[in-house]
């Protein structure tokens, strides 16, 4: 069979410009996520299916009834937007199917770094940083949240307060010292 008719199973879905829609999950790994992250993804999926897609379908239907589709901006944009919505629906469906919901509060009181931990560390240049280790689809760097597959998170996982870990960067090896580890209180995650 020609390569043109096959699809790489591990390749992340891409937008129209070829950019990945979201970070990929390492092959053979589970899609770890907190219950809040899962609820957010599920909410987005339902909003796309129940609200946004039907509105765009109505616009495309109305625009198609106006005649010449080749120069009809509403029709052309609507069809493009419909493809984007359908692509996002497929992506969210796949991510939710493989999601492994984890409750980080089960580790409350522990000084060891696991998924869902908020970790304060200092690097070898005495720069202190606090990050929360979350799922690939819920991490937001602007909120000091990093994905569990990020190099910093991979270095920190399983370490304990007071431990020094090695972080490999393109600029070379860095040493991180874990200062504090905390988790959400039981009954609340993320």
pLDDT of res. 187:
60
Same fold: 30-101 with 104-182? no
Q: Which CATH class is domain 104-182?
A: alpha beta
What confidence tier does 6 reach under pLDDT thresholds 50, 70, 90?
Answer: very low
Arithmetic mean of pLDDT over the chain: 86
Q: How far apart are CA 149 and CA 93, in angstroms?
A: 21
Q: Options 1.10.287.180, 3.30.9.10, 1.10.1240.10, 1.25.40.10; which CATH number does 30-101 get?
A: 1.10.287.180
What confidence tier does 1 reach under pLDDT thresholds 50, 70, 90?
Answer: very low
For residue range 112-130, list pLDDT tens digits in order: 999 999 999 999 889 999 9
pLDDT at 29 > cutoff 70 = yes
For range 172-188, the mean pLDDT: 88
For range 151-169, the mean pLDDT: 95
Q: Does residue 190 sit in helix, strand or coil? A: coil
The least confident of 58-62, 72-76, 141-145 is 72-76
∠ Cα 181 153 23 (to 5°): 140
Sequence ranges of the domains in the chain:
30-101, 104-182
Q: How far apart are CA 62 and CA 78, in angstroms?
A: 10
Q: How far apart are CA 17 and CA 148, in angstroms?
A: 27
């Amino acid at each position: 069979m020609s390569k043109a008719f096959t699809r790489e199973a591990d390749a992340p879905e891409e937008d129209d410009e070829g950019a990945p829609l979201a970070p990929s999950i390492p092959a053979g790994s589970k899609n770890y996520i907190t219950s809040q992250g899962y609820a957010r993804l599920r909410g987005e999926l339902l909003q796309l299916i129940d609200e946004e897609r039907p509105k765009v379908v109505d616009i495309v239907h109305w625009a198609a009834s106006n005649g010449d589709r080749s120069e009809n901006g509403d029709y052309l944009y609507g069809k493009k937007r419909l493809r984007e919505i359908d692509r996002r629906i497929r992506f969210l469906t796949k991510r939710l199917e493989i999601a492994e919901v984890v409750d980080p509060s089960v580790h409350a009181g522990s000084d060891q770094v696991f998924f869902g931990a908020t970790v304060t560390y200092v690097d070898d240049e005495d720069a202190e940083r606090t990050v929360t280790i979350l799922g690939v689809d819920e991490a937001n760097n602007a909120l000091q949240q990093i994905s569990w597959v990020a190099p910093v998170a991979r270095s920190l996982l399983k370490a304990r307060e007071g431990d020094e870990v090695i972080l490999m960067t393109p600029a070379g090896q860095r040493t991180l010292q874990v200062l504090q580890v905390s988790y959400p209180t039981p009954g609340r995650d993320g």
